Amino acid sequence: MQQGGGSGKEVTWEDQQNINKFGRLNNRLHELEDEIKFAKESNDNLEDASNELILTDEEVVRFQIGEVFAHVPRDEVETRIEQMKEVTSKNLEKLEEEKGSVVAQMAELKKILYGKFGNSINLEED
């Protein structure tokens, strides 16, 4: 991803630290993207589950806890799913927020590093 300053430009410890930071943020960005994808998926699944729950006539549904399916009355499942939805959507919000800040910080670092090294540094994904 990185190429050291080529023609004449000296790389200082400060530059190196900026490059390190950029690399770290880039890694975090990828992790966040995965986590966001995962959180969205579980959010959708919970959404599907609560929709199905509205349609079903059964009074007692099987609700997976750990490895077993417990027989749980429908309204209790409903509240549980609502709670779970709340937790995941809050989590998703937090992740999106962090992603925003990571992207902003990366843009800032890009400005600094491209400003100094111009074409001798490449900060883009292949």
Partner 1 sequence: MASLSSTAAETTTERRGIPGAQFVEDVERYLTQSGLDVNSSLSFLQERLQQYKLVEMKLLAQQRDLQAKIPDIEKCLDVVAILQAKKGTGEPLIADFEVSEGIYSQARIENACSVCLWLGANVMLEYSCEEGTALLQKNLDNAKASLEVLVADLQFLRDQVTITQVTIARVYNWDVHQKRRMREAVTAEKDS
Residues in contact with partner 1 by the rule CB under 8 A = 2-7, 10-13, 16, 19-20, 23-24, 27, 62, 65-71
CB of 59 to partner 1, least distance (A): 13
CB of 62 to partner 1, least distance (A): 6
d(CA 59, CA 74): 5
| Shorter beta-carbon distance to partner 1: residue 23 or 89 | 23
d(CA 112, CA 118): 10
CB of 67 to partner 1, least distance (A): 7
